[in-house]
Each structure stands twice: as C-alpha cells, then as structure tokens.
C-alpha cells in the first residue's frame, strides 16, 4: 500500500516537472518569437522609412516583381500561420499538462490524507493493544499476589 502511494507521489512529481519543463519551453519560444518579430518589425519600419523618403526608390519598389509576387505574400502568410498554429498547439498542450497535474495533485492529496488516516488508526490500535497488554499484565500480577 505504501509502495503504491509512493509510486503515485513520484508520478505526480514527474508530471509536475514535465509541466514545468513544457511551460519553460513555451516561455522561451514566446520570448524568441517576440524577439524575432520585434527585430523584423524594426527592420521593416527602417526599410519603409528609408524608401518613403526617396521617390525614385518608391517607383522601383512598386515595380519590383519579387515583392509584388503572390509567392512572397503567400510564403510570409504561411510562415506566420505555422507559427501561430504552433503557439496555439503549445498553449493547448500546456493547458492539458496543467489540468493533468491538477488532477494528479488532487489524487495525491487524497492518498496522503488516506495514508495519514491509516497511520493514525494503526497508531491508535497499537496503543490500544499496548494498554490491553498492560491491563492483562496488571491483572496477572494481581492474581499472582492473591495466590501467594
């Protein structure tokens, strides 16, 4: 019974550790994603600012085939969608891990409470047995004295 409880405790601890690791990975991913997005946005703002000031560059940019191609637009959109999907997926996994961890924590608390109750009952029974033995020993002493 204790072995099963210990196994449950270890499994719950492992689940909490996995949830922490997943949360940490998610946090690092978000930070990296945010950092890259900020860098890219700054570069685009700089590019837009530089070319907005130069009218001849604006004409070149309007006619630039690669920038106006469907491929360039689609690729950027697809990449963004993939990253967004990955973020949603990781968030869902993290939520699932948290729920599982909560369930395991609840079960662990129940087992710990049960274990404490069993331990208390065992201690109480041992105390009762000891008291019974002492009472029997005293009765035996009383019988031995009266027999003399």
pLDDT tens digits, 52-95:
776 565 555 555 555 556 666 677 778 888 888 999 999 999 99
* Residue 65 belongs to some domain of the structure: yes
Q: pLDDT tens-digit profile of 119-148?
A: 999 999 999 999 999 999 888 887 777 766
* Residue 61 belongs to some domain of the structure: yes
Question: What is the rounded distance in angstroms from the CA atom of residue 26 to the CA atom of residue 120?
Answer: 43
Number of independent structural domains in the chain: 1
* Residue 29 belongs to some domain of the structure: yes
Helices (H), 54-69: 55-63, 65-68
* Residue 90 belongs to some domain of the structure: yes
**Residue 1 DSSP class:** -
* Residue 135 belongs to some domain of the structure: no
What pLDDT does residue 66 have? 54
For the four alpha carbons of 93, 95, 97 and 100, in that order, the dihedral sign comes to: negative
- Structural domain including 92 reads 2-106
Q: Cβ(108)–Cβ(10) under 8 Å?
A: no
Burial class from Cβ neighbours inside 10 Å (0-12, 13-18, 19+) for residue 90 reads middle
* Residue 14 belongs to some domain of the structure: yes
* Residue 9 belongs to some domain of the structure: yes
Q: pLDDT tens-digit profile of 8-47?
A: 889 999 999 999 999 999 999 999 998 999 999 998 888 8
């Amino acid at each position: 019974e204790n072995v099963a409880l210990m196994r449950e405790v270890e499994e719950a601890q492992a689940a909490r550790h996995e949830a922490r690791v997943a949360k940490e990975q998610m946090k690092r991913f978000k930070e990296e994603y945010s950092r890259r997005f900020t860098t890219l946005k700054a570069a685009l703002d700089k590019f837009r600012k530089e070319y907005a000031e130069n009218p001849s560059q604006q004409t070149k940019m309007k006619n630039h085939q690669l920038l106006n191609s469907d491929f360039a637009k689609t690729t950027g959109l697809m990449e963004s969608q993939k990253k967004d999907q990955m973020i949603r997926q990781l968030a869902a996994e993290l939520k699932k891990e948290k729920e599982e961890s909560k369930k395991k924590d609840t079960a662990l608390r129940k087992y710990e409470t049960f274990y404490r109750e069993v331990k208390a009952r065992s201690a109480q029974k041992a105390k009762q047995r000891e008291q019974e033995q002492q009472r029997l020993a005293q009765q035996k002493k009383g019988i031995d004295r009266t027999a003399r």
